[in-house]
């Protein structure tokens, strides 16, 4: 039997959350796509907008409260009360960013630049922008446009296209 290869041609990735892990899932998937010659369109909405907002993009946090997968260095469970102490979440998040840097994973602004350098396109959700009272000026310069969900869907057509929600 001949295996029929139907390579992926386009991915449309929607990022609605603003924690480090949610945003990086989006960025790694998008960058990995353009590196393989797959077209990538990114749509940031709700808290995901933090990833493309100049003020917040390089200061994303991960949750130290209510995150059952959070562990201390060494693997012990990370107590929720510890995560609630002021400054702990910031410290843990900056440690995570440092560890990523050591693996050559860039900060958010540089990652977005890498994706657009490869032809990836970045969009912001109009409704969420209105809700958070953001304007285009608040957004990173590589953001192509602010779109309604309908306009974004209009870009997601074509054969061998997948929509991914992170």
For another protein, the binding residues (CB under 8 A) are: 28, 31-32, 34-37, 104-106, 110, 113-114, 117-119
C-alpha–C-alpha distance, residues 107 and 128, integer Å? 23
* 108-117 vs 20-35: helix crossing angle, rounded to 10: 20
**What's the closest the beta carbon of residue 48 comes to another protein, in angstroms?**
20
For another protein, which is the closer residue by CB, 114 or 128?
Answer: 114
Residue 94: which of 112, 107, 76, 81 has the closest Cα? 107
**What's the closest the beta carbon of residue 113 comes to another protein, in angstroms?**
7
For another protein, which is the closer residue by CB, 88 or 114?
Answer: 114
Residue 162: which of 7, 3, 53, 45 has the closest Cα? 7
**What's the closest the beta carbon of residue 25 comes to another protein, in angstroms?**
11
For another protein, which is the closer residue by CB, 113 or 151?
Answer: 113
CA distances from 22 to 49, 88, 123, 129 (A): 12, 20, 16, 19
**What's the closest the beta carbon of residue 128 comes to another protein, in angstroms?**
27
C-alpha–C-alpha distance, residues 161 and 107, integer Å? 28
**What's the closest the beta carbon of residue 142 comes to another protein, in angstroms?**
12
C-alpha–C-alpha distance, residues 141 and 136, integer Å? 9
For another protein, which is the closer residue by CB, 117 or 154?
Answer: 117
For another protein, which is the closer residue by CB, 70 or 112?
Answer: 112
């Amino acid at each position: 039997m001949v295996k029929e290869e139907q390579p992926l041609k386009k991915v449309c990735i929607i990022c609605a959350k603003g924690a480090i892990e949610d945003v990086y899932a989006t960025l790694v998937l998008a960058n990995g796509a353009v590196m393989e010659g797959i077209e990538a369109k990114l749509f940031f909405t709700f808290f995901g907008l933090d990833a493309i907002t100049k003020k917040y993009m390089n200061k994303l946090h991960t949750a130290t409260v209510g995150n059952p997968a959070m562990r201390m260095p060494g693997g012990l469970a990370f107590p929720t009360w510890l995560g609630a102490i002021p400054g702990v979440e910031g410290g843990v998040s900056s440690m995570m960013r440092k560890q990523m840097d050591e693996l050559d994973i860039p900060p958010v602004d540089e990652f977005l630049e890498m994706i657009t350098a490869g032809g990836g396109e970045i969009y912001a959700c109009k409704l969420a922008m209105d809700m958070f009272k953001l304007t285009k000026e608040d957004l990173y310069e590589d953001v192509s446009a602010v779109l309604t969900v309908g306009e974004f869907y209009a870009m997601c057509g074509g054969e061998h296209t997948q929509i991914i929600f992170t």
